[in-house]
């Protein structure tokens, strides 16, 4: 587990690693797990051809469109989504979405989290390390909402940058995924809280509240992790389990750990990258809202909350109740984003 200082910073030197291509076919779509420039798709499909990987500049041959790193015929009924489709209610973020910003066809798959009550914070019945900032364990009633099934990817964030609504990540850490070949399906990282909010607004969404994020991660049965109460390992999360990123020394493509899915089908809610949420940082849940809304000071506090742990963190940071903070202008290779939308 990395040592986190007063500001929650945990910078570590990273190494580049070889990205493999893995393609899985289903009755209706090709599901991209890890995309790499120059790799061949299922059946050896050539770069730029239908069903094959996009060219490095995000283009395809003929009238094909590049979606999540795969060349797709836009007139076909099938879409291409990242990760493993676990079923459930989805929304592909088309231009018909209410309140959609600049995002048109690739705003990202979402899952619905039903309205109702759950218990937020550290549950002493399943976690023996309930520190003050994860306490007290308290009941919260959250209206129904949608949350991104996957962390925001480099590819999706790049669409926002291309559209002029987002600024490019500026982090200099070797672990930054921006402008790295083969990382289009990896979570975007090295973005500030402000940049995360800009992306969500462009996609017709918003940053999640802490309560929304935690309910989407753990459901309503008080479990410790998205997958249950079994301790975190690389079977469930991209984490430090004998080495950063399960030995890859970095992030993995979103959805690479289907065994770690939350009760609602959200992926990577433990590990891969921390995720910015809307809330200001408070050192406990004393006086926290119980209606699922954002806990926002007036004037706003100096720090914002991040949730979920990262590829640099061990089991101690993988529980759904895990939370920490940073300055909203801070960015590094372990912090990314996920968006929500009210129903």
Do 65 and 105 lie in a common domain? no
Residue 99 in any domain: the answer is yes
Q: Quote the number of domains for the chain.
A: 2
DSSP 139: E
- Residues 212-224 pLDDT 10s: 999 999 999 999 9
Band (50; pLDDT cuts 50, 70, 90): confident
Share of the chain above pLDDT 70, in %: 73
Mean local confidence (pLDDT), 311-329:
97
- Residues 230-260 pLDDT 10s: 999 999 999 999 999 999 999 999 999 999 9
Residue 5 in any domain: the answer is no
Would you say residue 290 has pLDDT above 50? yes
Would you say residue 43 has pLDDT above 90? no
Residue 9 in any domain: the answer is no
Do 168 and 239 lie in a common domain? yes
**pLDDT at site 70:** 58
Cα–Cα distance for residue pair 262/247, rounded to 1 Å: 23
**pLDDT at site 57:** 59
- Report helix, strand or coil for 132: helix
Would you say residue 96 has pLDDT above 80? no
Band (34; pLDDT cuts 50, 70, 90): very low
Cα–Cα distance for residue pair 155/244, rounded to 1 Å: 23
Burial group, residue 13, by CB count within 10 angstroms (0-12, 13-18, 19+): exposed
| Host domain of residue 143 | 87-343
Last residue of a domain, one of 46, 61, 80: 80
**pLDDT at site 281:** 98
Residue among 313, 231, 229, 228 at smallest CA distance from 275: 313
Q: What tokens does 77 get?
A: 């009924």
Residue 7 in any domain: the answer is no
**pLDDT at site 282:** 98
Last residue of a domain, one of 54, 80, 106: 80
Query: Strand 22-25 vs strand 30-34: parallel, antiparallel, or unpaired?
Result: antiparallel
Torsion of CA 54, 16, 171, 338, to 10 degrees: 60
Sign of CA dihedral 168, 170, 171, 176: positive
**pLDDT at site 237:** 98
Would you say residue 98 has pLDDT above 60? no
Residue 1 in any domain: the answer is no
Would you say residue 115 has pLDDT above 60? yes
Residue 204 in any domain: the answer is yes
**pLDDT at site 99:** 37
Do 97 and 68 lie in a common domain? no
Band (160; pLDDT cuts 50, 70, 90): very high
Do 174 and 312 lie in a common domain? yes
Residue 12 in any domain: the answer is no
Cα–Cα distance for residue pair 64/71, rounded to 1 Å: 6
**pLDDT at site 74:** 59
Compute the chain's Rg from CA coordinates. Answer: 19
Last residue of a domain, one of 37, 59, 80: 80
Residue 218 in any domain: the answer is yes
Do 166 and 25 lie in a common domain? no
Residues 31, 85 contacting (CB under 8 angstroms)? yes
Residues 184, 329 contacting (CB under 8 angstroms)? no
- Torsion region of 162: left, alpha or beta (phi above 0 gives left; psi -120 to 50 gives alpha): alpha
3-state secondary structure 79-119: CCCECCCCCCCCCCCCCCCCCCCCCCCCCCCEEEECCEEEE
**pLDDT at site 72:** 63
Do 58 and 109 lie in a common domain? no
Do 75 and 94 lie in a common domain? no
Q: For position 221, which CATH number holds?
A: 3.90.1580.10
Do 236 and 316 lie in a common domain? yes
Instruction: Tell which wins on pLDDT, 15 or 5.
Output: 5
């Amino acid at each position: 587990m990395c040592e986190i200082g007063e500001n929650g910073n945990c910078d570590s030197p990273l190494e580049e690693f070889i990205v493999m291509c893995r393609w899985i076919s289903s009755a209706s779509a090709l599901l991209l797990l890890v995309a790499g420039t120059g790799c061949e798709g299922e059946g050896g499909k050539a770069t730029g051809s239908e069903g094959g990987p996009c060219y490095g500049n995000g283009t395809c041959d003929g009238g094909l469109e590049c979606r999540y790193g795969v060349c797709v015929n836009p007139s076909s009924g099938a879409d291409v989504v990242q990760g493993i489709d676990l079923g459930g209610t989805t929304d592909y973020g088309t231009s018909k979405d209410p309140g959609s910003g600049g995002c048109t066809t690739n705003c990202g798959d979402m899952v619905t989290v039903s309205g109702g009550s759950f218990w937020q914070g550290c549950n002493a019945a399943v976690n023996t390390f309930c520190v003050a900032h994860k306490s007290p364990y308290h009941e919260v009633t959250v209206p129904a909402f949608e949350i991104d099934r996957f962390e925001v990817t480099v590819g999706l964030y790049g669409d926002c940058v291309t559209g002029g609504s987002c600024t490019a990540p500026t982090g200099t850490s070797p672990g930054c995924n921006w402008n790295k070949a083969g990382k289009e399906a990896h979570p975007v990282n090295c973005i500030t809280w402000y940049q995360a909010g800009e992306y969500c607004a462009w996609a017709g969404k918003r940053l999640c509240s802490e309560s929304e994020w935690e309910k989407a991660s753990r459901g309503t049965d008080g479990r410790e992790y998205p997958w249950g109460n079994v301790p975190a390992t690389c079977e469930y999360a991209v984490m430090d389990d004998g080495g950063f990123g399960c030995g890859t020394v970095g992030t993995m493509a979103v959805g690479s750990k289907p065994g770690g899915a939350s009760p609602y089908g959200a992926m990577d809610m433990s590990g891969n990258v921390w995720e910015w949420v809307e809330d200001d940082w408070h050192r406990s849940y004393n006086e926290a809202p119980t209606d699922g809304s954002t806990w926002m000071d007036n004037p706003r506090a100096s720090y914002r909350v991040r949730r979920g742990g990262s590829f640099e963190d061990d089991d101690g940071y993988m529980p759904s109740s895990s939370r920490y903070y940073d300055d909203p202008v801070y960015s590094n290779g372990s912090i990314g984003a996920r968006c929500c939308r009210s129903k």
